[in-house]
Structure 1
Amino acid sequence: MEKKHNIIHVILTGGVGSRLWPLSRKSRPKQYLEIFDGKSLFELTVDRNQDIVDKVIVVGNIDNCDLSRAILEKKNIPYLDIVEATPRNTAAAIAFAAFAADPEDILIVTPMDHIIEKKDLYDIAVADAIKKAGEGNIVTFGIVPTKPETGYGYIEAKGENVVSFREKPNLVTAKGFLAKKNFLWNSGMFCFKAGVLLEELKHFQPKIYKKSKKVWDHNDNGKLDLELSMEIPAISVDYAVMERSKKIKVIHSQFLWSDLGSFESVYDYLLAKGHPVDENGNMVIGVQNFTAFIGMKNTILVATENANLVLQKEYSQDVKDLYNELEVEKPELLE
């Protein structure tokens, strides 16, 4: 069957993965660590969509564009690099990709820090999203939750319609969401025609639209100007468009999905893949040395050349606070 639209995979590669320090550094953020069966999260993201799309647009920062480029060139995939001079959140990042595309092109927007399994179910969800996007909808992928997760945002759904978007809940609220059975994890993945997204952005956030367009109009081979970029309000696409538009549809996705945003999620993933733990659930990442844990449970030792981290996995979210302290006191450990 002949395709009516170009299908473009937009990969958002911003962020340094502060909650995965010391594995994740500014010079090699978590999305490029080859710790997933010898591949990085970025490469897995490219592979997953390679047979679905015609082209890739990578929106990232100056620090990681070379890392993305090396992987795409190795795979011989046609791509466009959009290099942000400074992070301005996801509304602007997605707007740049939409400006770079034809208005009728269908964009599949994905972050690159996700592990997705059951690819057959993923392909079904993406095909459904492309169909709905072709009809003028902005499609978001909701994941049918498997536990009362407090680290994710949620989508309250009524069939394919979105009732509301919810911020990360506390445990009591998350359990309530699961009991109601119409709440989905918000995956941060979207699908839409470039022109439809831009029209909605122009309607709800004219300043972001106007300033982003100005930046894009002055791009130099995909590189964006710092001074002009600083004028763009830094707002997420969820807040700018998704929570306001009447064109949103949600797909109840059944594929297995996890956001590898913390050591707890990395621990769970590695455990499922057969990574060794001792009888008390203690795990070592990054070193082969014999390591003994005495009097500890569910503890993770993360070893790197110039920094080690020891944490109980339920405290994984607190690594970000440590990262912020090091930014001030020992910034060389973040490079």
Structure 2
Amino acid sequence: MNTKNSIIHVVLTGGIGSRLWPLSRKSMPKQYLEIFEGKSLFEMTVERNANLADKAMVVGNVDNCHLSEKVMGKLDKTYINIVESTPRNTAAAIAFAAFASQSDDILIITPSDHIIDEMEEYELAIKKAISKAKEGYIVTFGIVPTKPETGYGYIESKGDDVISFREKPNSVTAKSFIAQGNFLWNSGMFCFKAGVLLDELKAYQPEIYEKSKKAWELNQNGNLDLELSLDIPSISIDYAVMERSKKIKVVPASFTWSDLGSFESVYDYLINKGHFVDKCGNMVIGSDKYTAFLGLKNTIFVYTDSANLILQKESSQDVKDLYCDLEKENSELLN
């Protein structure tokens, strides 16, 4: 039964995590890897929000919905399942979640591959966002930055007002953002009433709105038609709504947050959890075999059955280029 103002946790599970190849593959994206004390990022995301929402909804795709189902079964959790036939970026994914809800339902949108610590701070931020969403605002979560990170987008803010959204900066720009003191990391998490988001999408991206609506109306048990889906423009929610709407507010949050988008961030996380590194800062991921590093510092050795990767920690962002090269070769190693 759908009561007024249900709070629904919407988990977006679309990404492949190309920067974490060879651990992350098309058949087993990073959010399902059980490398975090026996749990996956997806499982941790669902558990983290279980007490904050009345219902759960998972927006995934045909390639990963069985992986989500397995985790939800493990947690014995019922959920609303939306299965995209092809990835159409976050504007469409979020539109489907909103169409699947009542207009007054409040949606908490989170990616499925983030690490968050300091749950009290997190819950406080969610509660603040829900109260602003009830007032008709679209709320984005800005993380108080701990360093001039170049791997994240930024939100320029004044109090809870958003001045601008900024792309991933180079290191000089990132340092100036930190020095100015009113820039937050863009977490890709949102909170809003379903109806408010759809009104804004209709105003600023009518084509995405209409085509997503059509695909949703003809869904079969949450499964979306491929041809209708391919017709939807592939645009992020940031471009489609966040950077244009006058209804945006930001909740600055000081919980510990990482999108674990690179081996450098996985390395930092695992070190905090007591994972072994040798005296020169070298780490092995994926194997218990004795491994010795000679003449190397801050090197990460990633072991899998079919491919290994050896990288300097500082070169973590370059893994994506390697992934793209393998994609051009149509390599089996990506599956």
Would you say the 8 A contact 1:282–1:297 is kept in 2?
yes
Deviation at 1:321, TM superposition (A): 1.1
AA in 1 matched with 2:293? F
Q: Give the letter for the 1:196 counterpart.
A: V
More displaced, 76-85 or 155-164? Answer: 76-85
Q: How far does the alpha carbon of each residue in 1:250-288 deviate from its partner, in whole angstroms, 9 at most, with x for none?
A: 001011101101101000100111101011100000001
Who is 1:239 aligned against?
239
Aligned partners of 1:88 and 1:182: how far apart in 2?
32
Gaps of 5+ in 2: none
The answer on 1:58 being equivalent to 2:69 is no
In structure 1, list runs of 5 or more residues that go unmatched.
none
The runs of 4+ residues in structure 1 deviating greater than 3 Å are none
Instruction: Indicate the RMSD between aligned Cα atoms, in angstroms.
Output: 0.9
What is the TM-score with the length of structure 1 in the denominator?
0.98
Separation in 2 of the partners of 1:272 and 1:242? Answer: 34
CA distance in structure 2 between the partners assigned to 1:146 and 1:74 by the alignment: 35
Give the C-alpha shift of residue 332 in structure 1.
1.1
Matched residue, 1:190: 190
Please give the residue correspondences for 1:109-148 in structure 2 after superposition, counting only pairs within 5 Å: 109-148=109-148
Task: Name the SS for the 1:175 alignment partner.
Answer: helix
Work out the percentage of aligned pairs sharing the same amino acid. 70
Would the aligned equivalents of 1:157 and 1:183 in 2 still touch at CA under 8 Å?
Answer: yes
Q: Residue 314 of structure 1 aligns to which amino acid in structure 2?
A: E
Instruction: Name the structure 1 match of 2:224.
Output: 224
- 1:330 is displaced (CA, Å) by 5.3
Equivalent in the alignment of 2:178 = 178
Work out the CA distance in 1 between the residues paired with 2:123 and 2:53: 12
- Mapping of 1:1-335 within 5 angstroms? 5-329=5-329, 331-335=331-335
User: d(CA) in 1 for partners of 2:180 and 2:266?
Assistant: 28
Which amino acid is 1:269 matched to?
Y
Query: How high is the TM-score relative to the length of structure 2?
Result: 0.98
Q: Which amino acid is 2:170 matched to? A: N
The answer (yes or no) to whether the contact 1:11–1:57 under 8 Å persists in 2 is yes
Structure 2 CA distance, aligned partners of 1:299 and 1:74? 35
Q: Which amino acid aligns with 1:205?
A: Q
The separation in 2 between residues aligned to 1:4 and 1:97, in whole angstroms, is 16
* Aligned partner letter, 1:283: M
Structure 1 residues 236, 330: CA separation in 2 closer, same or farther (over 3 Å shift)?
closer
Task: Say whether the 8 Å CA contact 1:55–1:77 is kept in structure 2.
Answer: no
